[in-house]
Amino acid sequence: MRRERLRELVARKFGARLERGSLDELEQFLAELEAELPGGGPGERLHLDDAPASYESGMREFFARALQAGDDEHFCQLWITALRLWVAAMQEQSA
């Protein structure tokens, strides 16, 4: 996915600043976006040779690899991951 396409999808659905998106709507949108990325579904973005020792080490590896790649696809993966983390944090606060 290209950065411009992601920007257009987000703006069309939620507004340029995501002002029209509830947490539930954002979560559904994330699932749809993740299905479009290589790997085909949630939890399939990070491919490591060995199982990470912890969630922390797995995420460190993911972010390090994304920085190395530097293309639009990896930018989109980072943006989607950051949005997923924010939505989860907000849902936890409201629970």
Instruction: Tell me the two tokens of residue 71.
Output: 């293309």
Higher pLDDT, 77 or 5: 5
Task: Report the alpha-carbon distance of residue 42 to residue 94 in Å, rounded.
Answer: 23
Judge contact between 26 and 83, C-beta under 8 A.
Answer: yes
Closest Cα partner for 39 from 48, 52, 50?
48
Considering only residues 40 and 15, tell me which one the structure prediction assigns the higher pLDDT. Answer: 15
Q: Are 3 and 73 within 8 A, CB to CB?
A: no
pLDDT value for 42: 45
What pLDDT is recorded for position 29?
Answer: 93
pLDDT tens digit string along 40-93?
444 444 455 667 778 788 777 777 776 776 678 778 888 888 899 999 999 888
Does the global pTM surpass 0.85?
no
Q: What is the DSSP letter of 63?
A: H
* pLDDT for the residue numbered 41: 46
Q: How far apart are CA 9 and CA 21, in angstroms?
A: 12
Name the residue with higher pLDDT: 7 or 73: 7
Any idea of the CA torsion for 89, 71, 28, 82, to the nearest 10 degrees?
0
pLDDT band (50, 70, 90) for residue 39: low
